[in-house]
Structure 1
Amino acid sequence: MKSTSSFWVTSVSSITAGDIFIRGYAMQDLVGRVPFTAIAYLLLRGKLPSPGEARMMDVICSSILDYGLQKSGTIAARAVASVNPRMNAGLAAGVLGAGDFAVSPEPTGRFIKDGYAEYKASGAPLERFADDYVANLRAAKQRVPGFGHPVFRNVDPRAEKLKALAKECGVWGEVNDWYGAIHVAFRKAANKPDLVMNDVGMLAGIMAQMGFTPAEMEGLALLSTFPGLIAHVSEELRTGAINRIVADENAHYAIETRDLEKDLSVAGWA
């Protein structure tokens, strides 16, 4: 990027009198020729994807889609839409439901990025490094993201499908092998042979291998949830329900009636 004194500098896109340019390519040339997910890859990575990378982008953007009412973001989106009946309001609320404990692969992405860099700098054999690394994590009582599931044991079928597709698309690599070795070492050290690598962990590993940053991983996960969020907000708007609240039978109010005058006196009020 050329040096400039301008306040804003971007290489993502530009607008001229004749067209919009995405990473230097005319929008009119891209639309209808290059699929949406391939253009998304171009926007993020700054280069056109290979056919395999483009297909994997489609897989990534199809990997979450919707968790129904079991996702806090869906409930937030519908509740907000019931009092502010606009699509953008519901979507904004739904986006905030992604974080360290739901939807977002960013924490796993950070773990993989930092750990893999440490492995490359160490020069140690992979299996030995993984054993030592996991031992240090366990000694520090540090959580390893991307492992475990409340239902699946031994294998998470969603993760295995992602792995097979990544290999088929030619985007499986050393980063994935490193994270897989950490998984094996962790199961051995924790004596949990049935502990799975879950779909979020697998996604993070694949996206790390493809060169995406942890922050971009969260953005792509959110992009994957948007069709489901749009459908839920649209359904909510069609119901005409107003002001969704927690019904009294679903809440316990741990509040006792108190004597204001007495308590004011105790607190020293005249």
Structure 2
Amino acid sequence: MTKSTPSHWVSAVSDITPEDIFIRGYPMQQLIGRLPFSAIAFLLIRDRIPTPGEARMMDVILSSILDYALQKSGTVAARVIVSVNPRMTAGLSAAMLGAGEYAVSPEDTGRFISDGLATWKGSGIPVEEHATGLVAELRAAKRRVPGFGHPVFRGTDPRAERLRVIAIENGVWGEANEWYAAVHRAFQAAANKPDLVMNDVGMLAGIMTQMGFTPAEMTGLALLSTFPGLVAHISEELQSGAINRIIPDDQVTYARVRRDIAADAAAVGWPLDK
């Protein structure tokens, strides 16, 4: 009797036969042109066909972080890199590394919301009371709440507000959003900052948590949303003819320290010739 050998890879995302490529079990030829990109992307990640409302929200998510001019570090990095390595792939790769705790990526916010939501649901106390207590703990520990604040917007982040309205209209607003909104109100009150906004990344994280996405998946979707803007910036840079982008000296303050290598090396046991 032949002993079976465990497979090296196990995947349910897609498989290929001589007849077709199957996406989560559905023939690709039956998906193309029948479901929009947003719905197929949802299917690939969540392993089910979304409702029309979820697909509409998915389309909005993928349209929400398209570009932020040259005030996004990833975009700057992409343009600098292609000025010395003129390839679209090089620029896109550089830009991806600019997504993290302080820009683009909702992952930390998503984790904060999913963990906090689970704690609240297990506590049995009213949401406002729980939010007030959590904010007090965070402030005492001098920890920031991810997803709050913006360098320009005060009172309302128009992008976040639009996301909220569309989520409600399409039936994807729920307890994750209400819990996070309660934390936002509690933080505004405790910090005496009524104009502190919930930014677009925070709103996206709340909505995607409600839709069932993991924090890591949220980062991937946020990056996917930035791709059209990045392609445009990289293409513009490639066509500009600029070579080797650098930071001009008038934009840098140098320490201008001058040191004696012979004396300093000798002091630690390296007798160098003068």
Secondary structure in 2 matching 1:21: strand
| RMSD across aligned positions (CA) | 1.3
* Shift of residue 148, structure 1, vs aligned partner: 1.3
In structure 1, C-alpha distance between the alignment counterparts of 2:140 and 2:253, rounded to whole Å: 39
TM-score, length basis structure 2: 0.94
* Shift of residue 249, structure 1, vs aligned partner: 1.7
Partner of 2:106: 105
In structure 1, C-alpha distance between the alignment counterparts of 2:165 and 2:180, rounded to whole Å: 16
Partner of 1:132: 133
Matched, 1:193 2:194: yes
| CA separation of 1:259 and 1:134: change in aligned 2, threshold 3 A | closer
In structure 2, C-alpha distance between the alignment counterparts of 1:173 and 1:44, rounded to whole Å: 20
User: What is the 5 A alignment of 1:87-98?
Assistant: 87-98=88-99
Identity of aligned residues (%): 69
TM-score, length basis structure 1: 0.95
User: What is the 5 A alignment of 1:75-94?
Assistant: 75-94=76-95
Partner of 2:121: 120
Secondary structure in 1 matching 2:166: helix
Q: Could you list the per-position Cα deviations for residues 182-237 of structure 1 after superposition, in whole angstroms to 9, with x for gaps in the alignment?
A: 11111112222221111111110000000000111111110000001111111111
In structure 1, C-alpha distance between the alignment counterparts of 2:190 and 2:254, rounded to whole Å: 44
Amino acid at match of 1:258: R
In structure 2, C-alpha distance between the alignment counterparts of 1:263 and 1:186, rounded to whole Å: 52
Secondary structure in 2 matching 1:83: coil
* Shift of residue 253, structure 1, vs aligned partner: 2.1
User: What is the 5 A alignment of 1:162-201?
Assistant: 162-201=163-202
* Shift of residue 259, structure 1, vs aligned partner: 2.8
In structure 2, C-alpha distance between the alignment counterparts of 1:214 and 1:155, rounded to whole Å: 24
In structure 1, C-alpha distance between the alignment counterparts of 2:118 and 2:261, rounded to whole Å: 61
Amino acid at match of 1:102: A
User: What is the 5 A alignment of 1:22-61?
Assistant: 22-61=23-62
| CA separation of 1:39 and 1:259: change in aligned 2, threshold 3 A | same
In structure 2, C-alpha distance between the alignment counterparts of 1:155 and 1:260, rounded to whole Å: 56
Runs of 4+ in 1 over 6 A off after TM superposition: none
User: Where do 5+ consecutive residues of structure 2 fail to align?
Assistant: none
